[in-house]
Amino acid sequence: MRSVMMLALLLAWGANAAEPEVPGWNEYQAGHLAAARIAFWQAAERGDRVAAFDLAMMDWKGEAGAVDKARAVYWLKRSAEQGLDRAQHALGLLAERGDGLPKSLAEATRWFALAARQGYLPAQIDLATQYFLGRGAPQDDRLAAYWYEEAAKQGDAGAQYLIASMYEHGQGVKRDIPAAIRWYARAGAQGDAAARAKALDLAKRESARRAQNASSGSLR
């Protein structure tokens, strides 16, 4: 379900993710899809990786022509091989689902990793999950924690909750209650009520523990 939702979001985004300077952008925005597709194609042939991505999205959705997944994947690969993070992530999602590409969780992990290393937030979350579940990669709590924390630093509330839990339980990281409280609090500040409750509960217990330790020390 996660990958289906992520792919739907990506495809809904489509060509309007292009930078304004990409040829075809203005035409696409104006609804002149045939002209936009020609401009994207011409730019993609010249090596414009964003135009190649936008062309892939148009082919995938059947804008200005029939749906053509094989051609969409071709342009996605052209874009990804030139280093566009969102194209790499999209290929990872397709490989994960076996949609337009042979199903391969290992290949999905490879594409997620390429995009994650560039700081692409959705890929960081997906890569962390691959390691967390041991899906398409060896199960590795340490690497899962690393990538969840990278995503958390970028403000993703779900990743903030997960890395907080990992710090709370010492899973993949050294147990660190103050760090857990900080991450729960940051997720809570974004509206996650469960995270806010966890932050308050942990802070209360940590305060009580410190008070007890101080009291025990003063009695010696």
What is the structure's pLDDT at 22?
Answer: 86
CATH dotted code for 1-123: 1.25.40.10
- List Cβ neighbours of 140 (8 Å cut-off, separation of 6 or more): 131, 134, 172
How much is the average pLDDT of 20-37?
A: 89
Q: Is the pLDDT of residue 191 over 70?
A: yes
What is the structure's pLDDT at 3?
Answer: 42
Q: 1-123 and 140-215: same fold?
A: yes
* Of residues 25, 66, 22, 65, the one with CA closest to residue 44: 22
pLDDT in tens, 41-70: 999 999 999 999 999 999 999 999 999 999
Q: Is the pLDDT of residue 185 over 90?
A: yes
As its CATH architecture, domain 140-215 has Alpha Horseshoe (1.25)
Show me where the domains of the chain are located.
1-123, 140-215
Query: Lowest-confidence range among 90-104, 142-156, 186-200, 205-219?
Result: 205-219
* Of residues 26, 30, 94, the one with CA closest to residue 56: 94
Answer for the pair 88, 111: CB distance below 8 angstroms, yes or no: yes
94 versus 4: which is more confidently predicted?
94
15 versus 138: which is more confidently predicted?
138
Q: Is the pLDDT of residue 184 over 60?
A: yes
Q: Is the pLDDT of residue 178 over 70?
A: yes
What is the structure's pLDDT at 18?
Answer: 44
Backbone angles phi, psi at 23, to 5 degrees: -55, 135
What is the structure's pLDDT at 217?
Answer: 59
CA atoms of 185 and 195, how far apart (whole Å) = 7
- List Cβ neighbours of 73 (8 Å cut-off, separation of 6 or more): 56, 91, 94, 100, 101
CA-CA-CA-CA torsion sign (29, 34, 37, 43): negative
Answer for the pair 178, 164: CB distance below 8 angstroms, yes or no: no
Backbone angles phi, psi at 173, to 5 degrees: -140, 165
